[in-house]
Amino acid sequence: MVRVNKPYHVSLAEFLLQMLQVLGVGVHDDGERGRTSVGTGYDLSNSVFSPDGRNFQVEYAAKAVENGSTSLAIKTPTGVVFAVEKIITSKLLVPNKNNRIQTIGRSIGAVYSGLLPDGRHLVSRARDEFNSYRGQYKEDITVPYLIDRLGNYVQAYTCYNSVRPFGITSIIGGVDGEGSHLYMLEPSGVYWGYKGAAAGKGRQSAKNELEKLKYDELTSKDAIKEAARIIYLAHEDNKDKDFEIEISWVDTVETKGLHQFVPEDLLAEAKAYAQDKLNEDEDEDEEDDEDEDMDN
């Protein structure tokens, strides 16, 4: 009687781990129980979880966002204001081109931090969703429904080995018959509704300032000034680099429900306000330092 061995099937992740073990590359502990370090085989595919439930590819995408320019949005009772810091990487770049803020539909805008091509791709997908919905239902898509569709789309890119997660965090907002809406969509596909949201390198300092605003009393014109101030403040970490500030808004009163870039006079006024506030803070810090020196 001839004995036939059954074929032994292993998953791609198991095969890669076995190869790493053959090569002498083991799984290392980074000091926390059950937590593995980067580069141990679990980060080779976004369809594989580590033993402690981490998806390294999604975490790497989040790192790409953290290294990106600071972007933010502020929701007011009548609209939404978007702002982004654009680092000038070359003197040859044409000013006010390569916009980070995009229009998805007549009353919906978006801004993103992270990898530019990924952001443009997601905006293109959002426009397709907008046009498809309008073509089928003869009305504009609502922001909550749009963000739900985009969340499912982004999340799908975390499930298959043949694709990679989006290296962006996008902030999407707009107005409709029910008021103003603002959401932030992360590389994992999760999204939340916000009064004020920020992403990118200066996210933490921007978030601290956003938490101080009184949103129920804020007008869209005031929000433009505050957005500029926060962008200037968040840029302090990169103050050795030149930058441009880009601001847009959509408001049921000021823009008649249309998403558009703010007029030049409002933008100039917001920049002047931001610089004045920044100078005031610097003067206060110098006075505090002098007082401390006198006390010592």
Alpha helices, H only, 96-157? 116-137, 143-156
> How high is the mean pLDDT of the chain?
87
Q: Cα dihedral angle (32, 34, 35, 37), rounded to 10 degrees?
A: 110
Please work out, in degrees rounded to the nearest 5, the angle formed at the alpha carbon of residue 216 by the alpha carbons of 213 and 217. 75
Scanning the structure block, which residue is given the tokens 């968040």?
A: 234
Residue 174: closest CA among 150, 134, 145: 145
Is 193 within a domain? yes
Q: Are residues 21 and 103 in the same domain?
A: no
Q: What pLDDT does residue 95 have?
A: 82
* pLDDT of 93 higher than 50: yes
CA pair distance 89, 240, nearest whole angstrom: 12
Question: What is the pLDDT confidence band of residue 270, given thresholds at 50, 70 and 90?
Answer: very high
Is 58 within a domain? no
Q: Are residues 73 and 49 in the same domain?
A: no
* pLDDT of 285 higher than 70: no
158 in helix, strand or coil? coil
143 in helix, strand or coil? helix
Please report, rounded to a whole number, the percentage of residues in the chain having pLDDT higher than 70.
Answer: 81
pTM beyond cutoff 0.75: yes
At 3-39, the pLDDT tens digits run 545 455 556 656 666 665 555 444 444 444 344 445 5
Question: What is the pLDDT confidence band of residue 94, given thresholds at 50, 70 and 90?
Answer: confident
Is 59 within a domain? no
Is 135 within a domain? yes
Question: What is the pLDDT confidence band of residue 295, given thresholds at 50, 70 and 90?
Answer: low
Is 269 within a domain? yes
In contact, 79 and 252? CB cutoff 8 Å? yes
178 in helix, strand or coil? coil
CATH of the domain at 223: 3.60.20.10
Expressed as residue numbers, the domain containing 112 is 65-284
At 100-141, the pLDDT tens digits run 999 999 999 999 999 999 999 999 999 999 999 999 999 999
First to last CA, the chain: 95
DSSP, res 105: E
Q: Which residues does 48 contact at the CB level (< 8 Å), separation at least 6?
A: 13, 42, 55
Q: What pLDDT does residue 291 have?
A: 56
DSSP, res 116: H
Q: Are residues 154 and 92 in the same domain?
A: yes
Q: What pLDDT does residue 43 have?
A: 85
**What are 74's strand-pairing partners?**
81, 196
Q: Are residues 46 and 104 in the same domain?
A: no
Q: Are residues 167 and 211 in the same domain?
A: yes
Alpha helices, H only, 24-115? 56-66
Q: Are residues 18 and 163 in the same domain?
A: no
Q: Are residues 69 and 21 in the same domain?
A: no
Is 77 within a domain? yes
* Token pair listed for 280: 């005031």
* Structural domain count of the chain: 2
Is 117 within a domain? yes
Is 5 within a domain? no
Q: Are residues 139 and 231 in the same domain?
A: yes
